[in-house]
A and B are shown apart, each in its own frame.
Chain A
């Protein structure tokens, strides 16, 4: 089972996690920039973090046979902090980098006017740079947050197939699916979603346009939840091809829209030539 975790915060994880992920079949991941739990107090703190997502963390991942890409943005939780807003002006120099495959995470946290501004500005940056966008849906007041997010998306220049709406659940999946955006699900030990609920949703909505991630970070989370979904799909009678679509081909197709995925560090030469090499090259 080859796995691409489309949303995981490896900066917060140990090398043991990398080894366990490789063992479970993870060969590629995307690390969205996000907050640190502790609020940042200056733009420089963001730049060191972004540099790490384009330097140290890909190096660490490669040592464990995992291809690392990232998404860059001013995250929703800090988009309302005036101390952090200068970051918006520096984003363009990061969005041209080879390892950056989307703008993200962007979206709403508390649905304030400052967050409106940051979201719209960053959707425009995604359009300007030919990048997809990873849009976080808020944890509090999620349904209303999704509706407001979709309004802003419609006003942006970004087509829905270039957007993934993340952290969806049973209450928000229908409205998100109607928008034409990609559907992201974060599988957590006991909050956002679990693997069995995920399987029920896959039965209802099918496997197209669905991204499943662990969103593992410094909180209670599990970097092997992508594999847990694959196993639960297998138990529920999904085919190997359907599992491969959800856990590999879908994230490759979504982030491949950046033209910047490079997945050929897979140490298994058989995997590299799978399907004529095109998938591992990121749909180029």
Chain B
């Protein structure tokens, strides 16, 4: 299911008007100026300071969208983007992950190590951000299956997993992993996450006539 509030799943042109509606006048002005600077001088570190301070300028709730727009405007190369991720707070890391589909690197597998890093975390905001549109397009099958399983383990709703139905459909190995997980839970007298049944149904559906591209 599509969550229209996740900025990696919107057209980038739709984010700014939606965000501006949430901001008061000073924050709106800050955002316009920060985006203009990021676009005009992406080599200067000023925009990176804006990237860091977006929370206190726009409020924490709006900061994700603001950071995604800043990344889109500055268009950093993979090396810079990787540095921003690794030197970022959890909120900044989530923004890097959400911005990937809106950037040139989003068309390449070069940012997969960032997704893998986030999937090693235990912070569910990072795990959610990691299973967005970029992961759906670029994670290999093994990594993707484990991402789905990690969501079930950590209580991240599987509706956060982008393109779940397409990637899960007819995936016999995913079905086996889910069944084993369900068995382990049942044997322990614990409940099986409701979401598991939903993914299992998808995985048990017959594979499409044109099988998905092998990753």
Contacts and interface: CB of A to CB of B under 8 A. Distances in A.
Interface of A: 51, 54-56, 58-59, 93, 96-99, 259-260, 262
Contacts of B124: 59
B123 A98 contact: no
Given A55-B123, A56-B121, 16 more contacts: A55-B90, A56-B90, A56-B122, A59-B90, A59-B125, A93-B87, A96-B49, A96-B53, A97-B89, A98-B53, A98-B91, A259-B56, A260-B56, A262-B55, A262-B59, A262-B60
Contacts of A59: 90, 123-125
B7 to A, nearest CB: 18
B112 interface: no
A41 B94 CA distance: 30
Contacts of B53: 96, 98
Contacts of B31: none
A96 B59 CA distance: 15
A52 to B, nearest CB: 10
A54 B91 CA distance: 9
Of all A-B residue pairs in the complex, the 9 with the closest CB atoms, nearest first, are A98-B55, A55-B90, A54-B89, A96-B52, A59-B123, A260-B56, A262-B60, A98-B56, A97-B89
Interface of B: 49, 52-56, 59-60, 63, 87, 89-91, 93, 121-125
A58 B90 contact: yes
Contacts of A55: 89-90, 93, 121, 123
B45 to A, nearest CB: 10
Nearest to B90: A55
Report which residue of B56, B87, B125 has the largest number of chain A beta carbons within 10 angstroms of its beta carbon.
Answer: B56
A115 B54 CA distance: 34
B112 to A, nearest CB: 21
B52 A97 contact: yes
A93 B59 CA distance: 20
A61 to B, nearest CB: 12
Which residue, A55, A93, A260, has most C-beta atoms of chain B within 10 A?
A55
A98 B122 contact: no
Given A56-B122, A259-B56, A98 B89 contact: yes
6 contacts: A97-B89, A98-B52, A98-B56, A98-B91, A99-B55, A260-B55
Nearest to A63: B124
B189 to A, nearest CB: 23
A59 B125 CA distance: 8
Nearest to A281: B59
Contacts of B89: 51, 54-55, 97-99
A56 B52 contact: no
